[in-house]
């Protein structure tokens, strides 16, 4: 049987990805509490800023509430790997109630490194929940500036 609205059947197919995306979005807000908690623990990855200069690459990872001893930074096959686990407990006691929250979750982040970095001289530091990893470049790889002279 033919439909009385000829465009309706064709319009549903292009809208399917949009419908699926909306369904996923609403699922994040209205899912069961256990399902939300499990999803948040599985997908946590820190925010990372990467800056490159002529001499080095600087990677900064925001890890609030994570101590430096709980972070593992390594280079594996030309990839900088930052991983660890965040454990935090907040407790609040007042006259009529007591509240305790626990935040636990593993994190993992990879940053591909370009060729020409000196992996033996990588330095890491931690200040107020920000891990900074400085990766020097090999001097031979640094760009050489060439002066162009005008000839009349």
Number of separate domains in the chain? 1
Q: So what's the pLDDT on residue 59?
A: 92
Sequence-ordered list of residues with C-beta below 8 angstroms from that of 21, at least 6 positions apart, any chain: none
At residue 132 the predicted structure's pLDDT band, cuts being 50, 70 and 90, is very high
Cβ neighbours around 72 below 10 Å, total: 11
- The answer as to whether 11 is a domain residue is no
CATH of the domain at 135: 2.60.40.790
Give per-residue pLDDT as tens, 91-116: 888 888 888 887 778 888 888 988 88
* Within a domain: 68: yes
Give residue 142's pLDDT band: very low, low, confident or very high (50, 70, 90).
Answer: low
pLDDT in tens, 49-80: 999 888 899 999 988 878 888 889 999 888 89
Query: Which residue range(s) make up the domain with 59?
Result: 46-141
132 and 121 in contact (C-beta within 8 Å)?
no
């Amino acid at each position: 049987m033919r439909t009385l609205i000829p465009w309706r059947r064709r319009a549903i197919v292009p809208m399917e990805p949009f419908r699926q995306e909306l369904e996923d979005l609403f699922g994040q807000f209205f899912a069961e509490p256990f399902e939300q908690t499990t999803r948040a623990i599985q997908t946590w990855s820190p925010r990372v800023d990467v800056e490159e200069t002529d001499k080095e690459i600087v990677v900064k990872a925001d890890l609030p509430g994570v101590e430096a001893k709980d972070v593992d930074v390594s280079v594996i096959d030309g990839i900088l790997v930052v991983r660890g686990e965040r454990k935090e407990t907040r407790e609040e006691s007042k006259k009529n109630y007591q509240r305790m929250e626990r935040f636990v979750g593993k994190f993992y982040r990879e940053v591909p490194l370009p060729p020409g970095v000196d992996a033996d001289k990588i330095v890491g530091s931690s200040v107020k929940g920000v891990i900074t990893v400085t990766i020097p470049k090999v001097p031979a790889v640094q760009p050489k500036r060439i002066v162009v002279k005008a000839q009349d």
